[in-house]
Amino acid sequence: MTLDLNPPSPVSPAVDFDADGKQHGALRLPWSRDDSAWGAIHIPICVVRNGDGPTALFFGGNHGDEYEGPIALYDLARLLKPEDITGRVIIVPALNYPAFRAAKRTSPIDGGNMNRIFPGRPDGGITEKIADFVTRGLLPLADVVLDIHSGGKTLDFVPFAAAHFLADKEQQARCMAAAEAFGAPFAVRMREIDAAGMLDTSAEALGKTFVTTELAGGGTATPETAAIARHGVRNLLKHAGILDGVPERQETRWLTMEEAGTFAASPADGLVDYALALGDEVRRGEPVARIIPHGSTGAAPVTVTAPGDGLLIGRHFPGLVQTGDCVAVVGSLDD
Ligand code: CA
C-alpha cells in the first residue's frame, strides 16, 4: 500500500504497511546539504503484520537524548515474529533520527523540538516534515499509539506511563487503561503545561488510544528502566490483543499531575542541592531543594518548596540550574 497523502509528503516510506511478515525499512526524507547535495535522512522503521487485527504504533527517540524507548524498540523490532501477533505493529525506535544521532533533545539540522511542532508541515523544516508524515501518514493507521519518553539530559523521573485528561471520557478511560497495562511502577493522569504541538495531542485528536511515558532520565538508561520499557511494549501489545497473553502486572501506583500543585521552577541561577530523592513523599510548602548562588561566596541559598502534596516524581538532572528551570514535579497520590 502506498500512502496517498494530499498534499503530498516529501517523506517516502520504504516499507509496505499492508504486507504480511516483517520488514525493516526506512522513512526517507530528502536532505540536501554541504556533504551530500542529493542526500536523504533514513529514519529506521519496522512493520510486522500478521493478517487483520489492531495496529499498534510505537515511537522512541521523539527527543534524541532519551534512551529507554530506542533500547526497547530496536529490541522489539529485531525479536518480534509475525507469527506471534495478530494485526500489525509499526515501530519507529528513533523518530527524530537526526537528534538521536547527535544525542540531542532537538534536531541539529533545524533546531526542531519534535514534540513541540506537531502536527507539522509538509513544506516546513526537516523536523516539521517528519511530524507531518507522522500526523497524516502513520497516526491514521493506528489503534494504539505509544510514545516512549524519558527525562533526557536535563530531567529525571520516577518511571511512569501516563495518559491525559481528555474531553472524551470514553477515550480517556481507554488511554488510562492502556497506561496502566504498560506496567511501569507508576501511572500518571496528566494535564500538560502546554499540550499544543505535541505528538500526544495529534494522536488524541484522531481518537487514538494514546500512552506516553517518562522512564527516568539523565541522558542514559539503567538496567531497571530499560527492562520497564521492554516489558511495557509487550504488555501494551498484549493489552491491545495483538500479542497473546495477559500483561505482566506489577503493582502500579496511580498519581495525578495537574498544572496547579505540580511544577516548581527555579527562581534563580545556581547550584542545585536536593533535600529529597525521587519517589519521596512531600507536602506543599516543604523544602525540595536549595539553589546556591555561585557568583560569589556568602550569598544565601534560595529554597524551592513543594508546589503540592504527593511524591517527588520529577527533578532537574544536572547540578546547575538557570532561572525558570523545572526543579520539582510533584504528583498527587490517590487516596
Ligand atoms: Ca521527552
**Predicted local confidence at residue 251, as pLDDT:** 87
Task: For residue 178, report the distance from its CA to the centre of ligand 1, in Å.
Answer: 19
Report the pLDDT value the prediction gives residue 3, as an integer from 0 to 100: 83
Q: What is the pLDDT of residues 106-144, one digit of tens each?
A: 999 999 999 999 999 999 999 999 999 999 999 999 999
Rounded to the nearest angstrom, the distance between the alpha carbon of 142 and the centre of ligand 1 is: 21
The per-residue pLDDT for 170 is 98
Find out whether 210 and 62 touch, Cβ atoms under 8 Å: no
37, three cell numbers? 547535495
Taking the centre of ligand 1 as the mean of its atom positions, its distance from the CA of residue 115, in whole angstroms, is: 8
CA distance 128 to 131: 5
Query: Cα(216) to centroid of ligand 1, in Å?
Result: 10
Tell me how far the alpha carbon of residue 159 lies from the centroid of ligand 1, in angstroms. 13
- Whether 330 and 272 have beta carbons less than 8 Å apart is answered as no
CA of 108 to the centre of ligand 1 (A): 16
- Report pLDDT digits (tens) over 211-230: 999 999 999 999 999 999 99
Whole-number Å distance, alpha carbon 1 to ligand 1 midpoint, is 32
73/283 Cα distance (integer angstroms):
37
Asked whether the whole model's pTM tops 0.95, one would answer yes
For residue 2, the model assigns a pLDDT of: 65
On average, the pLDDT of the chain sits at: 96
What is the 3-class SS of the chain, one letter each residue? CCCCCCCCCCCEECCCCCCCEEEEEEEEEECCECCECCCEEEEEEEEEEECCCCEEEEECCCCCCCCHHHHHHHHHHHHCCHHHECEEEEEECCCCHHHHHCCCCCCCCCCCCHHHCCCCCCCCCHHHHHHHHHHHHHHHHCCEEEECCCCHHHEEECCEEEEECCCCHHHHHHHHHHHHHHCCCEEEEECCCCCCCCHHHHHHHCCCEEEEEECCCCCCCCHHHHHHHHHHHHHHHHHCCCECCCCCCCCCEEEEECCCCCEEECCCCEEEEECCCCCCEECCCCEEEEEECCCCCCCCCEEEECCCCEEEEEEECCCEECCCCEEEEEEEECC
What domains sit in the chain, N to C, each tagged with a CATH number?
12-257 (3.40.630.10), 263-333 (2.40.50.100)
What is the whole-number distance in angstroms between the Cα of residue 182 and the centre of ligand 1?
17
Please name which of 155, 213, 220, 154 lies closest in space to residue 182, comparing C-alpha atoms.
213
C-alpha 104 to ligand 1 mean position (Å): 11
Q: For residue 193, name the pLDDT band (cuts at 50, 70, 90).
A: confident
> What mean pLDDT do residues 320-324 have?
98
Nearest to 58 by CA among 227, 275, 213: 213
- pLDDT over 80 (residue 265): yes
Confidence of residue 258 (pLDDT cuts 50, 70, 90): confident
- 150 Cα: distance to centroid of ligand 1 (angstroms): 5
Distance 140 CA to ligand 1 centre (A): 23
Q: How far is the CA of 97 from the centre of ligand 1 (A)?
A: 14
Output the CA 315–ligand 1 centroid distance in Å. Answer: 13
Measured distance CA(199)–CA(186) in Å, rounded = 22
Average pLDDT (88-97) is 98
Mean pLDDT of all residues in 262-266: 95
Question: What is the distance in A from the centroid of ligand 1 to the CA of 152?
Answer: 6
Which pLDDT value is given to residue 261?
A: 76
- The answer, yes or no, to whether residue 1 has pLDDT greater than 70, is no
- The pLDDT-based confidence of 259 (bands split at 50, 70, 90) is confident
Distance 212 CA to ligand 1 centre (A): 9
Residue 47 has pLDDT above 80, yes or no: yes
Beta bridge partners of 31: none
297: cell is 561566596
Is 45's pLDDT higher than 80? yes
Q: How far is the CA of 39 from the centre of ligand 1 (A)?
A: 28
What is the arithmetic mean of pLDDT over 154-159? 97
Q: Cα(147) to centroid of ligand 1, in Å? A: 9
Residue 278 has pLDDT above 90, yes or no: yes
User: What is the whole-number distance in angstroms between the Cα of residue 228 and the centre of ligand 1?
Assistant: 16
Question: In the prediction, which pLDDT does 249 show?
Answer: 78
Name the nearest CA neighbour of 127 among 70, 61, 223, 76.
61
Distance between Cα 98 and ligand 1 center (Å): 15
